[in-house]
Amino acid sequence: MRSEISGTTLPVLTVTLEAGETMLAEPDRLSWMTSNVAMRTTAATGGATGFFGAIGRAVSGGGLFMTEFTAEGGEALVAFAATLPGAIMETKVSAGRGLLIHRHGFLAGAAGLSLAVGFQQSLGAGVFGGEGFVLQHLTGEGPAFVELGGEIVSYTLKQGQDLLVHPGHVGMFEETVGFEITTIRGVKNVLFGGDGLFLARLSGPGQVWLQSLTPAKLAHALRPYLPSGEHR
């Protein structure tokens, strides 16, 4: 598997597969491919989570199925374009080095990867469209490609170090990093319902990647330009 990430604001991931090689991606993420790529829908991811793992992802707001892309009869090409302004990161997943990723972060990766729900918590009706906060847990073996919004800021936290982060800015972190949602009372924010500001506490050791563009802030910025349903 050879990969190339091109572009800036809206990057494109292009993957070249050897004959017989297979990769995984979230459904509906395909942008283009050569005609010798066979596609297959599967409920399993890397064979580790199976049908009930897929049900868990669907209940938490993720996809019920994944798509497998296999090169047939020679080398093949598959491309995935970013859905939001930001960046596509390539990272290596291995035994004992899993990753926690924001709910729509996983783009594509090797067939030996497994994707499941890593964290889920309701944060009130005003947060994330009332669907709560969800992290994907990516484990297994092989390269993975993750989509993050806006610019990426990375920190390496030592043992005992922690960082308080707006949940929407949490892009990805190593599974060695501790994670919890905490509330600061007495603070109101137009992006959140009720009294209290939700923050994520990330505790070392391990590396974290934060994204500058949050889904909630993007939705808030676009709201004045969306149809209200009223006739004028």
Q: Give me the CATH number covering residue 89.
A: 3.60.160.10
Is 6 contained in some domain?
yes
Strand 99-102 and strand 170-174: pairing? Answer: antiparallel
Is 52 contained in some domain?
yes
Dist. CA 68–CA 87, nearest whole Å: 23
Amino acid at 188: K
Which run of H or E residues covers position 152? strand 152-157
Is 28 contained in some domain?
yes
pLDDT the model gives residue 63: 57
pLDDT the model gives residue 133: 78
pLDDT the model gives residue 173: 96
pLDDT the model gives residue 72: 97
- The shares of helix, strand and coil residues in the chain, as percent rounded to the nearest 5, are 10, 50, 40
pLDDT the model gives residue 96: 86
Is 231 contained in some domain?
no
Which run of H or E residues covers position 183? strand 178-184
pLDDT the model gives residue 219: 79
pLDDT the model gives residue 156: 98
Alpha-carbon dihedral sign for residues 102, 103, 107, 111: positive
pLDDT the model gives residue 14: 98
pLDDT the model gives residue 170: 94
Is 123 contained in some domain?
yes
Sheet containing strand 106-110, edge to edge, reads 37-42, 66-71, 22-25, 106-110, 142-149, 86-93
pLDDT the model gives residue 205: 97
Tokens representing 34 are: 């050569």
Its domain, for residue 202, covers: 2-224
What single-letter DSSP state applies at residue 131?
Answer: T
pLDDT the model gives residue 24: 93
Query: Could you give the C-alpha distances from 27 to 17, 30, 157, 191, in angstroms and in order?
Result: 18, 8, 34, 29
Is 18 contained in some domain?
yes
- The pTM for the full model equals 0.82
Which run of H or E residues covers position 215? helix 215-222
Is 232 contained in some domain?
no
pLDDT the model gives residue 56: 52
Dist. CA 39–CA 68, nearest whole Å: 6
Dist. CA 191–CA 186, nearest whole Å: 15
Number of domains in the chain: 1
Is 203 contained in some domain?
yes
Q: With a cut of 50, list the residues of the chain below it in pLDDT.
A: 44, 46-53, 55, 59-61, 125-130, 191, 193-195, 231-232
Dist. CA 18–CA 63, nearest whole Å: 27
- Residue entry with tokens 């030592």: 158
pLDDT the model gives residue 189: 54
Tokens representing 67 are: 């798509």
pLDDT the model gives residue 126: 44
